[in-house]
């Protein structure tokens, strides 16, 4: 109970900006949970094994089997592979176009709302600083107008508001920025896997169309 009392006191002494920062933190948490679910599922695939299995089937001329394998797995990498295998592969240009078209469809949803996390983190920091200025301004204004016996109390309340707002803004901003960086790295890893499957399947399909003499 003492912990909850301390938290409540910290929040109450921080002033009105604490509620805005709390709203930003709640919104950021919701986005983080949704993005962790989406990006986590997309990056969980063992793409190396999938690509090797697809290359093996393509090398054996089993395009339907490779397509079936790709469709059985739900991930950006497998969807790009399925798009390439299901498309018209009569020319190299059409193979490239199929890979690019599939990547354009599957990759953008992974980055959705990630940029907003950075904006929310910066906003929380700036609101913390604004709360600091507001608290100090209020404190010194009250000190100038208050009785000498009350000046120390007004000054302490204003400084408490300033420090609590700044602290809470950083408490929200720092984890949000760290998670944003982590998720962005996961998305970049998926992009690299998509590029790898596009390049290797393109080469495998080209070899199938032009077998060695």
Record the tokens describing residue 74, joined without a space: 């739900």
Mean pLDDT of 155-177: 86
Q: Do 117 and 179 contact (CB within 8 A), yes or no?
A: yes
Q: What is the pLDDT of residues 37-83, one digit of tens each?
A: 999 988 887 888 888 988 888 888 888 888 898 888 888 988 998 88
Nearest to 67 by CA among 91, 45, 204, 58: 58
DSSP annotation of 87: S
Place of tokens 């240009």: 93
The DSSP secondary-structure symbol of 61 reads T
Report the predicted TM-score, pTM, of the whole model to 2 decimal places: 0.82
Is it the case that residue 112 has pLDDT exceeding 80? yes
Within 8 A by CB and 6+ apart from 4, the residues are none
Give the count of beta carbons closer than 10 Å to the beta carbon of residue 80.
27
Closest by CA position to 139, among listed 97, 131, 129: 131
For residue 1, give the DSSP letter: -
Cβ atoms of 121 and 180 within 8 Å: the answer is yes
pLDDT digits (tens, 9 = 90+) for 139-156: 777 666 656 656 676 677
Instruction: Pick the more confident residue, 136 or 21.
Output: 21
169 pLDDT tier (thresholds 50, 70, 90):
very high
191: closest CA among 23, 42, 22?
Answer: 42
Contacts of residue 21, defined as CB under 8 A and 6 or more positions apart, other chains included, come to 124, 127, 128, 131, 165, 168, 169, 172
Q: From the CB of residue 48, how many other CB atoms can be counted at a distance below 10 Å? A: 11
pLDDT score, position 213 = 42
Q: Distance between CA 161 and CA 175 in Å, rounded?
A: 22
């Amino acid at each position: 109970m003492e912990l909850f009392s301390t938290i409540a006191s910290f929040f109450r002494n921080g002033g009105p900006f604490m509620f805005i920062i709390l709203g930003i933190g709640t919104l950021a948490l919701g986005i983080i949970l949704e993005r962790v679910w989406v990006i986590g599922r997309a990056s969980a695939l063992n793409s190396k094994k999938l690509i090797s299995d697809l290359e093996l089937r393509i090398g054996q001329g089993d395009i339907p089997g490779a397509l079936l394998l790709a469709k059985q797995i739900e991930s950006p990498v497998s969807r790009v592979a399925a798009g390439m295998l299901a498309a018209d592969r009569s020319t190299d240009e059409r193979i490239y176009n199929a890979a690019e078209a599939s990547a354009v469809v599957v990759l953008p949803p992974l980055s959705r709302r990630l940029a907003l996390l950075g904006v929310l983190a910066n906003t929380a920091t700036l609101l913390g600083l604004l709360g600091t200025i507001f608290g100090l301004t209020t404190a010194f204004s009250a000190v100038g107008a208050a009785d000498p016996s009350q000046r120390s109390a007004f000054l302490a309340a204003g400084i408490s508001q300033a420090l609590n707002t700044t602290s809470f803004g950083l408490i929200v901003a720092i984890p949000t920025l760290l998670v944003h960086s982590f998720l962005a790295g996961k998305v970049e890893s998926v992009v690299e896997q998509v590029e790898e499957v596009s390049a290797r399947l393109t080469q495998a399909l080209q070899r199938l169309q032009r077998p060695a003499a």
